[in-house]
């Protein structure tokens, strides 16, 4: 079915034209408005999403820009996804939001659209939809929140909550201390101010060329964000006039630019799932080896939590943000890639200065880390790959015994037990939490706590291996997205307590000391089942149709 545009939708000379024009006029609009291109503003505002709580105001600013540039803006709302407010993995609903947004874009009489998003699943869902619908589009990142502060220490949401919880479990702070600190974890509305999944995805919109230069890191509650919203409204009219569409921008070159920025920013491992899914909507196949190849030639330059010490909306933004980072990486980028400015990456960067604050964005020849932020591992434990956030890990090489768990509750009980045999020479395996198994790959990689008895000895990291995901704000040596997942017959389902695990991040290795025959024998005896039973609805549909992590966890019929 062909996408609607405003002129086709009106069907001049028909009874439908009479009804449609009449209904628009019933809202107080005029004949003059109906002569203008219609711009859809797809808003993901919701009161169950603090990251998007500023979107009502931003949408009004976008409308100002559209009106000023000669367009007719019409706002429409769709579901809003916040990981914390869902009682199941919100990755499931990324695909649903993608489907609903695509239908809103394609079936409505929009000549172009402005998409508003900030949070983990909302941004990739909207980009997936926009590429599939392929109408002129500009993305407005909602921006990071401000950091909090407690007793003189800067706090940033999830990253510091993990540290506070470890201290509380170890008896270093009281419950009263914890309650006081919780009010200081979040400094304002907006996306969590770390280089977690939300800000990594907002950074991706700019590095892909879908958002205005400088808009990814400007704080959610800033005047600058409001001005960028209005400018986005103006710029969509230029994209409509020039007929520049998402598939003109989302090329392999643009994707490689985005991955380069991801690896240099210490961004989230979740983007390896999201970018694969976005690329497939344009018929481009991204493989894990593409991420590894690019990671090997770049370096970590951004000093933001969880890999560093700063926040996105303050230190990173004030040091120049994504544009200053891309300027530092200019020799690694495809400068001829097109962007929503109508100019190429190279043209956008022509007048950009390198960062003045080398504590926030390091020089390429004096990096914070010599490799890209994420590494890909392969071996008989992960035939189709696994990933690890190297920039936030402290253990690069490991060989030791496995301790295996099929539920998070059992893993937590073992790790918190002062009488368990847990120490730094053990690797904890948590399995059955992949795309189908949990379902939806919950962010349980970081839910395996630091054992208090190890923390008291000054040891705050250990090897964790799982087919689940990890919060972009988390840190530690956590091997994620082990593929295929255990429930899909992956070798993780064959591991037993006492098996010897070998991990070498620099060499890209993840193995268990078992023969292939023994692995297959054990898998044949496996009785793993989904963690929860779903017999109907979208979650059942998701379990039946979701692809594996290396395929982007999308549905094949949406590619």
CATH number at residue 254: 3.40.50.2300
| Residues 464 and 543 placed together within one structural domain of the fold | yes
pLDDT for residue 10: 86
Q: Would 502 be classed as within a structural domain?
A: yes
CA nearest to 185, candidates 217, 219, 161: 161
- Note whether 171 and 240 are same-domain residues: no
528, pLDDT greater than 90: no
Q: Report pLDDT for 156.
A: 86
- Cα–Cα distance for residue pair 239/235, rounded to 1 Å: 6
Do 271 and 309 fall into the same domain?
Answer: yes
- The SS3 of residue 503 is strand
pLDDT reported for residue 154: 87
In angstroms, the CA 438 to CA 450 distance is 23
DSSP code per residue over 130-146 = HHHH---EEEEE--BPP
Smallest CA-to-CA distance from 209 within 342, 320, 325, 112 is with 342
Give the orientation angle of helix 122-133 with respect to helix 91-107, to 10 degrees: 40
Q: What is the mean pLDDT of residues 30-55?
A: 96
Residue 181 phi/psi, 5° resolution?
A: -70, -30
- Distance, in Å, from the CA atom of 363 to the CA atom of 403, rounded to the nearest integer, reads 41
Confirm if 201 and 210 have CB atoms less than 8 A apart.
no
Which pair of tokens denotes residue 302?
A: 């951004």
Specify the CATH number for the domain of residue 486: 3.50.30.80
Does the pLDDT of residue 4 top 80, yes or no? no
Q: Does residue 1 surpass a pLDDT of 90?
A: no
Q: DSSP secondary-structure letter at 392?
A: G
Is residue 62 within 8 Å of 41, Cβ to Cβ? Answer: yes
26 is a domain residue: no
* 11 domain residue, yes or no: no
Contact criterion met (CB below 8 Å) for 117 and 190? no
Contact predicate 18/49, CB 8 Å? no
pLDDT in tens, 341-361: 999 999 999 999 999 999 999
- Distance CA(510)–CA(504), nearest Å, equals 7
d(CA 551, CA 374): 18
Residue 439, preceding peptide bond in cis (omega within 30° of 0): yes
Q: Do 220 and 295 belong to one domain?
A: yes
Q: What is the pLDDT of residue 161?
A: 86
**What residues are paired with 458 via a beta bridge?**
none
Instruction: For residue 238, name the pLDDT band (cuts at 50, 70, 90).
Output: very high
Which residues are CB-neighbours of 345 under 8 A, at least 6 positions away?
Answer: 209, 257, 326, 333, 334, 335, 336, 337, 339
Q: Are residues 213 and 64 located together in one domain of the fold?
A: yes
Tell whether 519 is covered by a domain.
yes
265 CB-side CA count, 13 A: 36
Apex 439 CA angle, 438 and 445, nearest 5: 50
Contact 445, 480 (CB under 8 A): yes
Same-domain status, 287 and 328: yes
Residue 99 domain-assigned? yes
Secondary element (H or E) of residue 259: helix 252-265
The reply to whether 379 and 236 lie within a common domain is: no
Residue 534, burial from CB neighbour count under 10 angstroms (0-12, 13-18, 19+): middle
Determine the 3-state secondary structure of 414 from DSSP: helix
Rounded to the nearest 5°, which phi and psi values hold at 479? -85, 125
Cβ atoms < 10 Å from Cβ of 84: 13
> For residue 8, is it within any domain?
no
137 - beta bridge partners?
113
Please write the tens of the pLDDT for every residue from 143-193.
999 999 988 888 888 788 888 888 888 899 899 998 888 888 899 999 999
pLDDT at 97: 98
Are 396 and 483 contained in the same domain? yes
User: What is the C-alpha separation between 319 and 358, in angstroms, rounded?
Assistant: 8
Question: Within this chain, do residues 173 and 122 fall inside the same structural domain, yes or no?
Answer: no
Q: How many residues does the chain have?
A: 559
Determine contact, residues 302/152, Cβ cutoff 8 Å: no
Contact by Cβ (8 Å): 521, 528: no
Cis peptide before 484 (omega within 30 of 0): yes
Alpha-carbon distance of 137 to 126, in angstroms, equals: 10
User: Are residues 402 and 307 both part of a single domain?
Assistant: no
pLDDT at 531 over 90: no
Which pLDDT score, from 0 to 100, does residue 490 have? Answer: 97
- Integer CA distances (angstroms), 349 to 206, 263, 354, 386, 403, in order: 12, 19, 10, 34, 50
CB 227 within 8 A of CB 241: no
Domain co-membership, 212 together with 305:
yes
Q: Considering 333, 349, 365, which residue would you say is the last residue of a domain? A: 349
Q: Look at residue 365 and tell me if it is in a domain.
A: no
Under DSSP, the state recorded for 300 is B
Query: What is the domain extent for residue 99?
Result: 36-147+188-349
At 389, the pLDDT band (50, 70, 90 cuts) reads very high
The domain tally of the chain equals: 3
Selected residue with higher pLDDT from 229 and 531? 229
Q: How far is CA 355 from CA 37, 320, 554, in A?
A: 39, 6, 37
- Domain contains 31: no
| pLDDT exceeds 90 at position 81 | yes
Can you give the pLDDT at residue 458? Answer: 95
167 and 219 together in one domain: no
**Residue 9: what are its φ and ψ, rounded to 5°?**
-65, -35
Rounded CA separation 498/355 (Å): 50
pLDDT digits (tens, 9 = 90+) for 242-280: 999 999 999 999 999 999 999 999 999 999 999 999 999
Distances (CA, A) of 132 to 80, 93, 465: 20, 17, 34
Q: So what's the pLDDT on residue 77? A: 95
């Amino acid at each position: 079915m062909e996408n609607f545009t405003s002129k086709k939708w009106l069907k001049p000379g028909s009874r439908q034209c009479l009804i449609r024009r009449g209904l628009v006029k019933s809202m107080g609009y005029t004949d003059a408005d109906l002569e203008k291109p219609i711009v859809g503003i797809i808003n993901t505002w919701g009161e169950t999403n603090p990251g998007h709580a500023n979107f009502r105001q931003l949408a009004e600013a976008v409308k100002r820009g559209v009106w000023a540039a000669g367009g007719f803006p019409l706002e429409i709302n769709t579901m809003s996804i916040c990981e914390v407010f869902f009682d199941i993995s919100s990755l499931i609903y990324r695909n649903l939001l993608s489907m609903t947004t695509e239908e809103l874009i394609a079936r409505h009489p929009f000549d172009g659209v402005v998409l508003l998003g900030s949070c983990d699943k909302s941004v990739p869902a909207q980009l997936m939809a926009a590429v599939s619908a392929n109408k002129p589009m500009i993305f407005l990142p909602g921006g990071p929140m401000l950091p909090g502060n407690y007793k003189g220490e800067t706090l940033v949401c999830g990253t510091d909550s993990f540290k506070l919880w470890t201290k509380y479990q170890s008896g270093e702070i009281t419950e009263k201390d914890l309650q006081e600190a919780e009010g200081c974890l979040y400094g304002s509305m907006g996306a969590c101010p770390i280089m977690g999944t939300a800000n990594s995805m907002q950074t991706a919109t700019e590095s892909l060329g879908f958002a205005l230069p400088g808009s990814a890191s400007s704080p959610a509650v800033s005047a600058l964000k409001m001005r960028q919203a209005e400018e986005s409204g103006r710029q969509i009219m230029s994209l409509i006039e020039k007929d520049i569409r998402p598939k003109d921008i989302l090329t392999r070159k643009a994707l490689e630019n985005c991955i380069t920025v991801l690896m240099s920013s210490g961004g989230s491992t979740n983007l390896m799932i999201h970018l694969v899914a976005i690329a497939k909507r344009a018929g481009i196949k991204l493989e894990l080896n593409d991420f590894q190849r690019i990671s090997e030639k770049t370096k970590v330059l951004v000093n933001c939590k969880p890999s560093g010490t700063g926040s996105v909306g303050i230190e990173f933004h004030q040091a120049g943000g994504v544009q200053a980072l891309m300027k530092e990486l200019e020799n690694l980028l495809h400068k001829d890639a097109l962007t929503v400015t109508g100019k190429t990456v190279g043209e956008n960067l022509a007048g950009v200065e390198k960062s003045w604050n080398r504590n926030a964005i390091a020089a390429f020849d004096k990096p914070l880390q010599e490799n890209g932020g994420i590494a890909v591992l392969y071996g008989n434990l992960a035939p189709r790959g696994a990933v690890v956030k190297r920039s936030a890990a402290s253990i690069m090489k490991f060989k030791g015994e496995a301790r295996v768990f099929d539920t998070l509750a059992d893993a937590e009980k073992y790790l918190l037990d002062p009488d368990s045999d847990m120490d730094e020479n053990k690797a904890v395996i948590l399995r059955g939490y992949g795309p189908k198994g949990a379902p939806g790959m919950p962010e349980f990689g970081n839910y395996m706590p630091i054992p208090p008895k190890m923390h008291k000895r000054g040891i705050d990291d250990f090897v964790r291996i799982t087919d689940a995901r990890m919060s972009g704000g988390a840190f530690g040596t956590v091997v994620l997205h082990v593929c295929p997942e255990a429930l899909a017959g992956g070798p993780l389902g064959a591991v037993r307590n006492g098996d010897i695990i070998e991990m070498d991040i620099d060499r890209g290795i993840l193995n268990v000391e078992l023969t292939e025959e023994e692995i297959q024998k054990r898998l044949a005896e496996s009785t793993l089942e989904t963690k929860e039973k779903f017999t109907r609805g979208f979650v059942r549909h998701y379990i039946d149709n979701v692809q594996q992590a290396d395929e982007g966890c999308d549905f094949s019929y949406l590619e």
